Each structure stands twice: as structure tokens, then as C-alpha cells.
Amino acid sequence: MSSDPSDDILAGILRASGRRATPSAEDRDTVLRAAGASWRRAVRARRRRRWVGAIAAGAVVVTLVVSMLGRRPGDGARVVTQASLVRGEVWMLAPEYPAWRRVRAGEPVIAGARLRTAATTGAALSLSDGASIRLRSATTLRFESRNGLRLDSGAVYVDTGAGGNSRPIRVHTEWGTVNDLGTVFEVEWTPGELRVRVREGRIRLERRGEHANVESRAGEELAIDAGGFTQRHEYPTSGGGWAWAEALAVAPQSDDQPLLQFLEWVARETGRQLRFDAADTRARAAAVRLHGSPRNLGPLDALSLMLATTDFEYRLEGETEILIRRRHPESG
């Protein structure tokens, strides 16, 4: 028996019309071809209608997301940030969710949501004004508002100085609030101890109870114990202590951007000074345009990748500088 549905259609038509003269093979083939073509047109039409329906459903989803992003304070759920880079398992508990669920890169985070990272994972979040918030492994954090965070455990890295247009961010803890005064800093909270490390700019720590407020500047660490005793130490702005935050840095779009701009990003993310071996080397870096963008690479790994396509190379000078120079042919 033929598997072509048009055969069954033709057979039904012939039975309904009674006995007739047997058609020639040529006539039968012509009828079958016509019936088959009609059948295929009908199938294609149904498929097009299904695709149109699916596209329309997708358009509804897009509209819902855009509407959420456009809500103002007081309009209900309000997006405060977006997960720009997720490594491993990161979980979110939003006010309307009955349970924790996995966070995907690019997903919006609304006011009132809590984020939790696993013991070996972290997350980077980007705000619309250019600020960056990064969560270390084993961290639980709540977004109380667009610029208010509550750190329940672990560590958070805040950078509001990159674009110059970011609003200050406040990090609340059980023992006090860290106020951002245009800076890059890390807050680490563990049972019995609060530590604040300043990489750039300065912060003000508002203490609870009768303890006086205290300010700290770049290159310093404040350590507060359960008794309220505060110690101030020097803390380097580069090196291994910042490695976890550097690993979560999100590289800027560098395609067709000046090499110098990318070099400045690497220097800032690693807390190092950028130095050139000659004035014309810097001028050349400002003129060279990059092609392609590094994805999910730390700043130094991204630097190695991007310089491989140029005639530049770099060398780390201790823990504080990055030296950029033209590559000699023999070092090729």
C-alpha cells in the first residue's frame, strides 16, 4: 500500500463516484501529482501558521521582559541589575519565586531578590550605569534596592568608578554599613569578623551602636571583630588577594576599539600601573585597532590573547606595573 496520503484521498473520491471506466496510467499519474501537490501546499500552510503562532508567542515574552525593565520604583517588580557572567552554579530566590532556582547569564535581577553562589563558583553583575558587582564563592547577598545590598555571608566586590556616572552603592552587614564614596572595594563578612578592603578611592563605614564611623582609603584594610575593635592595615591594590574578583572581570567590547583603551582596562582590573617603554609605543597603541573580543577570560589572559595579533608584548614588573613594548622580531 502506498504511504502517500494523496492515494487514499483519490481512492475515496473514486469509490464515492461509483464504477467508471478505468483511467489510463498517464491520467492516474496526473491526478495523483495534482492531489499530492495540493496536499503538500496544505501541510506547508499549516506549518506556516504554527511558526507564526510561535513567533507571536515569542514576541509576547519579549514584550513582558521589556515592560519589566521599564518599570519605575513603586510599579511592582523592578530590575536592579543583570547577571553578566556566571561561573558554575549561582542561585536566586526572588520575592515571587517559591524556591531557589539557577541563574543564567543575561538574566535580570529584581529588587528584593537574593543570590547565592556555591562553594566553588562566583558571579559578576552589571548595572545599567556601568557599575560592577561581583560575588565570591560561598556568598549570599540580597538586593534591597538599586544601590542597596545586604551581605549575609561571603564577600562582594563593588566597582562604581569605571564609568564615572555610577551612583554610590551601600553594602549593609550585621555590624554596619559600608558607604561607597566613588571607589572600588571589597566587603567580606564571616561570623565574628567584618573586613573591608579598598582598592581605589575611599569608603566610609557606619558603625552600629556607640561605635564611631570610620573612613578608609585605597591601599587599606579595616578589620572589625565581635567586640567592635577596629584594626587598620595596609593592603596592596594588586596581587593574589584580588584574584577572585579579577577572574570575574567582564572584558569590554574591544572589536574595532583602540588597543590603548583595552590596555587601560587590564591595568585597572589588575590594580597595576600601565607603563610604556617609549612615548611612541604609547602613541602607536592609541592608533592600533583591535579585532575580536576575549570571552570569559581574566584580564591578563585576555591581554595575552589580544596582543598575540599585534606587534606588542607585555611584561609584569613586580606586583605593581605592566610594561608594554614593541615586539622585537627575534622574540616573535
Q: What is the CATH number of the domain that holds 87?
A: 2.60.120.1440
Residue after which a domain boundary falls, among 199, 217, 242: 242
Asked if residue 198 belongs to a domain, the reply is: yes
pLDDT category at 182 given cuts 50, 70, 90 is confident
For residues 157-167, average pLDDT: 80
Asked if residue 272 belongs to a domain, the reply is: yes
Check residue 30 and give its pLDDT.
52
pLDDT category at 283 given cuts 50, 70, 90 is very high
Indicate if 234 and 290 belong to the same structural domain. no
* Coil vs helix vs strand at 165: coil
- Per the structure, how many domains does the chain have? 3
Asked if residue 138 belongs to a domain, the reply is: yes
Residue after which a domain boundary falls, among 242, 266, 297: 242
For residues 233-246, average pLDDT: 96
Q: Which three cell numbers stand for residue 324?
A: 608594554
Whether residue 15 is predicted with pLDDT greater than 80 in this model: the reply is no
Q: What is the CATH number of the domain that holds 276?
A: 3.55.50.30
Indicate if 209 and 297 belong to the same structural domain. no
Asked if residue 74 belongs to a domain, the reply is: no
Specify the residue for cell string 615586539.
327
Check residue 72 and give its pLDDT.
37
Check residue 24 and give its pLDDT.
54
Indicate if 129 and 272 belong to the same structural domain. no
Please name the amino acid found at residue 289: R
Check residue 172 and give its pLDDT.
96
Q: Virtual CA dihedral for 225, 227, 231, 235, nearest 10 degrees?
A: 10
Whether residue 3 is predicted with pLDDT greater than 70 in this model: the reply is no
pLDDT higher at 234 or 75 = 234
Taking the model in full, what pTM does it have?
0.74
d(CA 307, CA 294): 11
pLDDT category at 28 given cuts 50, 70, 90 is very low
pLDDT category at 138 given cuts 50, 70, 90 is very high
Indicate if 132 and 225 belong to the same structural domain. yes
For residues 251-277, average pLDDT: 93
Q: Virtual CA dihedral for 57, 60, 66, 69, nearest 10 degrees?
A: -100
Residue after which a domain boundary falls, among 69, 93, 117: 69
pLDDT higher at 220 or 89 = 220
| Mean pLDDT of the chain, nearest integer | 79
Indicate if 229 and 258 belong to the same structural domain. no
DSSP 8-state assignment for residue 286: H
CA-CA distances (angstroms) from residue 6 to 21, 27, 278, 301?
Answer: 20, 15, 80, 62
pLDDT higher at 35 or 243 = 243
Check residue 59 and give its pLDDT.
27
CB burial of residue 204 (10 Å; 0-12, 13-18, 19+): middle
Indicate if 59 and 83 belong to the same structural domain. no
Asked if residue 18 belongs to a domain, the reply is: yes
Whether residue 242 is predicted with pLDDT greater than 90 in this model: the reply is yes
Indicate if 178 and 311 belong to the same structural domain. no
Q: Are strands 273-276 and 321-326 parallel, antiparallel or unpaired?
A: parallel
Check residue 26 and give its pLDDT.
54
Whether residue 13 is predicted with pLDDT greater than 80 in this model: the reply is no
Indicate if 104 and 182 belong to the same structural domain. yes
pLDDT category at 21 given cuts 50, 70, 90 is very low
Poorest-confidence range of 61-65, 148-152, 215-219?
61-65
Check residue 33 and give its pLDDT.
54
pLDDT category at 160 given cuts 50, 70, 90 is very high
Most confident of 57-66, 87-96, 170-179: 170-179
pLDDT higher at 98 or 216 = 216
Indicate if 269 and 324 belong to the same structural domain. yes
Share of the chain above pLDDT 90, in %: 49
Indicate if 285 and 305 belong to the same structural domain. yes
pLDDT category at 105 given cuts 50, 70, 90 is confident
Indicate if 116 and 168 belong to the same structural domain. yes
Whether residue 10 is predicted with pLDDT greater than 70 in this model: the reply is no
For residues 9-32, average pLDDT: 47
Asked if residue 261 belongs to a domain, the reply is: yes
Asked if residue 270 belongs to a domain, the reply is: yes
Domain with 171 in it = 79-242
CA-CA distances (angstroms) from residue 65 to 70, 77, 79, 145?
Answer: 9, 11, 10, 19
Indicate if 85 and 231 belong to the same structural domain. yes
Asked if residue 26 belongs to a domain, the reply is: yes
Check residue 258 and give its pLDDT.
94
Whether residue 163 is predicted with pLDDT greater than 70 in this model: the reply is no
